[in-house]
Amino acid sequence: MNITTSAQDFEMSDAIDQFARQHVRSALRPFSDDILAVDVFMKDTNGPKGGVDKQALIRIRLRNRSTIALQTEHESLYGAIKKGAKRVKRTVRRQLRKARRIDKRRLGKRLIVSGMPAGT
C-alpha cells in the first residue's frame, strides 16, 4: 500500500508526516490487498488564526477502480488525521463488503443460468 502525504498552506513536520502515515496504515492494514494507493492531503485553512480549521483529506484508490475520498476537520491536525483514519476504515470496510455481496449475487445467478445449483 503506497501512502503519500502533502501539506497546503503550512510546512509539514516529520512528526506530522509519520503520524499520518502510521495512523492511516494501521487503519487500512486489514484491507491492504484491495488498496492500490492512499493520498493524505493536510490543510490549515485559517493559518495562524486558530479555530476548527485543520483539514485532512484522505483519498483511497481501490483495486476495483473505485476511489473513496473523505475530508475531516478538527482544531488540531493530529485530531483531523485520527478522525479521518477512523472514518476511512469504516468506509472502506463497507465499500468492500458491498462489492463482495454483489459479486456473490452475480456468481449465484451465473451458476443458476448454467444449470448448476448455487450452493456448490
Report yes or no: 114 and 106 within 8 Å, Cβ to Cβ.
no
Question: Is 2-113 a CATH 3.30.160.100 domain?
Answer: yes
User: How many beta carbons lie within 10 A of that of residue 41, not counting itself?
Assistant: 17
| 49-103 tens-digit pLDDT | 766 689 999 999 998 888 999 999 998 999 999 999 999 999 999 998 887 776 6
The whole-angstrom separation of Cα 17 and Cα 14 is 5
- Which residues pair with residue 70 across a beta bridge? 58
Domain boundaries, the chain: 2-113
Looking at residue 51, its pLDDT comes to 67
Looking at the predicted structure, is the pLDDT value of residue 44 above 60? yes
